[in-house]
Amino acid sequence: MKKIIKYVIIDILRNKIILAYTLFLLALSLSIFNLEDSSAKGVLSLLNIVLIIVPLVSILFAAIYVYNSAEFLELLVSQPLKRKTIWLSMFTGLSVSLVLSFFIGIGIPVLLYEFSATGITLLIAGILLTVIFVAIAMLAVVKIRDKARGIGAVILLWLYFSLLFDGLVLFILFQFADYPMEKAMVAITAFNPIDLSRIMVLLKMDVSAMMGYTGAVFKDFFGTVAGLLTSLLVLLLWIALPAWLSVRKFNRKDL
C-alpha cells in the first residue's frame, strides 16, 4: 500500500497543474494578507476562496486524475493486490498531495499572518474540505465510466454543494417562515460540508451581525466543545461515507 501511495504522490507532485494550484493559492493568500488592513479581515476574504476554489479544484483534479489513471489501475488490479488497498491508496495519495498544496498555499501564510483560533479553524476546514471533495470525486468516478459524463457530474456536484443547496435552504426558510427554524437550520447544515465549515469559521470570528438571536442559537451549538466535536465528526463522516461507498463499488466493478 505504501508503495502505491508513494507512487501516486510523486506522480501528482510532478504534475504542473498541482504546482500551478499551489502557487495560485500562495499568491492569493499573500496578496490578500498584504492588501487588507487587518489580518482578521484577510481571513474573511480567504474563507471565500477556501469555500469555493478549494472544493472545485479538489473534486475536478481528483476526478480527472483517476480517469487518466484507468490503465494504471487495470495494471495494478492484475497484480496480487487487494482492490480495496489499491483504491484507498489512490484516495490517500490524492488527498495527501492536495492537502499538501493547500497547506503550502494557504496554511503557511495563515500561520504567519493570523496564527489564531480563527486561522486554525480555517485551516482545518480547508483540509477537511479538500479530503471530502476528493472522496466525493472518487465516488462519482467509480459510478460513471464515461470520462466526459463523469467530469460533468463532478462539476454539477460542486455546483450543488456551493450554490444549489443554499438556494434550497433559502427556499425552505421562506416556505417555513412562520416556524422557528433556527435549530432546524443547525441540523440542515450537516448535509452540506461547505456550509458546515463556513459556519464553523464564521462563528470563530466575532462577526457582529451573527450576535442576534439566530447567531446566539448557532453559537450555542457550534460554540461549545460538544458542538465543535460534533461538527468535526460530521465532516469526518463526509469523508468516510463516500470513501466507503466507492470502495464497495470498486470491489465489484467490472473494469
Partner 1 sequence: MKLLTFILCCCYLPSFAGIIKVGRQQPFQTITAAVSVAKNGDTVLVDKGIYFEKNLVISKQIVLKGIGHPVLDAEKKYENISIKADNVTVDGFLLQHTGVSSMIDYAAIKIYNTHNISIINNIINDAFFGIYSQYGIHCLIKNNVLTATAKNEQESGNGIHCWKSDSIQIIGNTISGHRDGIYFEFVTNSVIWRNNSFKNLRYGLHFMFSNDDAYITNIFENNGAGVAVMFSRGVKMFNNYFKENWGDAAYGILLKEINDSYIENNHFEKNTSAIYAEGANRILIKKNIFKNNGWAFKIQASCMDVTLEENNFLGNTFDVGTNGSLVLNKFTHNYWDKYEGYDLNRDHIGDVPYRPVSMYSMIVERNPPAMILYHSMIMALMDKSEKVIPSLTPENLKDEHPLMKPLPL
> Does 121 interact with partner 1 (rule: CB under 8 A)?
no
Q: Are residues 90 and 8 in contact, defined by beta-carbon separation less than 8 angstroms?
A: yes
**Candidate list 17, 26, 52, 124; residue touching partner 1; CB under 8 A:** 52
Task: Provide, rounded to whole angstroms, the least separation between the CB of residue 202 and partner 1.
Answer: 6
Task: Provide, rounded to whole angstroms, the least separation between the CB of residue 211 and partner 1.
Answer: 5
Residue whose C-alpha cell is 474540505: 129
**Candidate list 4, 5, 32, 51; residue touching partner 1; CB under 8 A:** 51
The residues, ordered by sequence, that sit 6+ positions from 41 with a Cβ below 8 Å of its Cβ are none
Whole-angstrom distance, CA of residue 8 vs CA of residue 207: 41
Q: Compute φ and ψ for 27, nearest 5 degrees.
A: -60, -45
User: Which of residues 51 and 138 has its CB atom nearest to partner 1 in the complex?
Assistant: 51
SS3 content of the chain, % helix, strand, coil (to 5): 85, 0, 15
> Does 232 interact with partner 1 (rule: CB under 8 A)?
no
Site string for partner 1, 170-209 (x = CB under 8 A): x--xx--x---xx--x--xx-----x--xx--x---xxxx
Residue whose C-alpha cell is 469526518: 236
| Residue type present at position 16 | K
Q: What cell does 115 get?
A: 496564527
> Does 41 interact with partner 1 (rule: CB under 8 A)?
yes
Applying CB under 8 A, the residues found at the interface with partner 1 are 41, 44, 47-48, 51-52, 162-163, 166-167, 169-170, 173-174, 177, 181-182, 185, 188-189, 195, 198-199, 202, 206-216, 218
